[in-house]
Amino acid sequence: MLKSLYVSSFVIIDQIKIDFLEGMSVLTGETGAGKSIIIDAIGQLCGNRSSASFVKKGCREAVIEGVFEVDITPQLEAICQQLHIDIENEFIITKHIQSNGKSQVKINYQTSTHNALKLLMPFFIDIHSQFETQKLFEEKSIFIF
């Protein structure tokens, strides 16, 4: 579960900190309010590819940090051992994106890789969007009686 999200100098965001409560969280708001940008920031913590365009104009780097509370499973333990990461109930994932497009990932303040994020994040978070839902309907036949 994502407990908190900190975003700095990312696209149009100067600085924001969001604390999430236990359970499901929903981002709502008017068109152009920045919901997609927050999801893009979370996507960066999930290992999505970085781009110099994510760094706010006039800034040297963007910083995204998420604090995740997780249930420890044997599969998560195995991945953490493989990645040489201490297993804990709370993980702090930080990504720095420089204005030249290069990025750095840290897991619990230790330098890591995007591939490590891709292995870990399925244990930490699920993101569902309207587009995934639409895609599900497109792939299935709908019968009306």
- Partners of 7 in beta bridges: 16, 64
Tell me if residue 37 falls in helix, strand or coil. helix
Q: What are the pLDDT digits (tens) for 25-82?
A: 777 888 877 888 998 999 999 889 999 999 999 999 999 999 999 989 999 999 999 9
The average pLDDT across 90-106 equals 95
Say which residue, 143 or 121, is predicted with more confidence: 121
Residue 79: how many other CB atoms lie within 10 Å: 17
Mean pLDDT lowest among 48-57, 94-103, 108-117, 133-142? 133-142
Give 111's Cβ-side CA count (13 Å radius).
2
Whether the Cβ atoms of residue 47 and residue 107 lie closer than 8 Å to each other: no
Q: Which helix (H) or strand (E) holds 72?
A: none
pLDDT of residue 29: 82
pLDDT average, residue stretch 123-127? 79
Domains along the chain with CATH numbers: 2-139 (3.40.50.300)
pLDDT for res 109: 92
- pLDDT reported for residue 132: 52
Of 90, 126, 27, 45, the closest CA to residue 10 belongs to 45
Question: Which residues does residue 63 pair with via DSSP β-bridges, in sequence order?
Answer: 8, 96
